[in-house]
Structure 1
Amino acid sequence: MTADIIRLAGLRVRGFHGVFDFERREGQDFVVDVELELSTSRAAATDDIVDTVHYGELAESLAAVIAGEPVNLLETLADRLMTVCLADTRVAAATVTVHKPSAPIPLAFTDVAVTIRRKRADRAGAR
């Protein structure tokens, strides 16, 4: 299979994740980047959206998770987003990065992020 990539970068959504009460109460923006590895050959040949991952629908599904049920850790949020990415069986592997640019760190910094990469085979073996 060809490992083509569909990338969605910089999806910014307000969420209420974190270990501190004020993070859960006030919320903050999270920025998400995803890369999906799949073959885009069929979509290129048919020129039909049904033969690929619809990145608009993907963005909506990811946004719902980010804005949804709060979690303590970025690692947990990234794992939930990975579940969305691997929901389409055509996706062989995915990489998810969750950025928390307003993390409560009392020092100057640019970004805090967690990146995970999973293959469909890894996910199936974990169940």
Structure 2
Amino acid sequence: MMNAVIEITNLRLRTFIGFNDEEKTKQQDIVINAEIHYPLNNGCITDKVSDALNYKTITKAIIKHVESGRFLLLEKLVADVLSICSEHPDVVYSKVKIDKPHALRFADSVSLSLDFHSNTTQEN
């Protein structure tokens, strides 16, 4: 069994994130990085689209959720995006890291990462 890894790199979006007054009224930039692992089946090798995880569908769901949402905590935003990345039953591992580039005055960014491990084990 081969394992596939989808990587979504530097997805730049804007959302309401934070609990200070200014953060509640002004959207902020965020940068999302996600990694999604799933077993590659023979259908993918033979070029059957229906047998692959659709990264475009996943990315569209992330964009819709982030851009239409309001989040007090970075932890909640990261957990929500991780849930979107992990919802397909074939996903065995996923990790999401979200950066808030302008969160601290003297830092390039503040980020938070969460990961998911499936409870099911894959036979090799």
TM-score by length of 2: 0.87
Q: Which runs of 5+ in 2 are unaligned?
A: none
Displacement of 1:48: 2.1
Match of 2:116? 118
Displacement of 1:78: 0.6
Higher strand share: 2
Moved more, 50-59 or 36-45: 36-45
1:18 lines up with 2:18 in the alignment: yes
Letter of the aligned partner of 1:118 in structure 2?
A: F
Match of 1:59? 59
Match of 1:31? 31
Does the 8 Å CA contact 1:31/1:99 hold for their aligned counterparts?
A: yes
C-alpha distance in 1 between matches for 2:10 and 2:72? 21
Q: Which runs of 5+ in 1 are unaligned?
A: 123-127
- Closer/same/farther in 2, CA of residues 24 and 49 from structure 1, 3 Å limit: farther
Identical pairs, percent: 23
Match of 2:90? 90
Match of 1:125? none
Measured on the aligned residues, the alpha-carbon RMSD in Å equals 1.7
Runs of 4+ in 1 over 2 A off after TM superposition: 1-4, 40-44
Letter of the aligned partner of 1:82 in structure 2?
A: L
TM-score by length of 1: 0.85
Displacement of 1:86: 1.2
How many residues are aligned here? 120
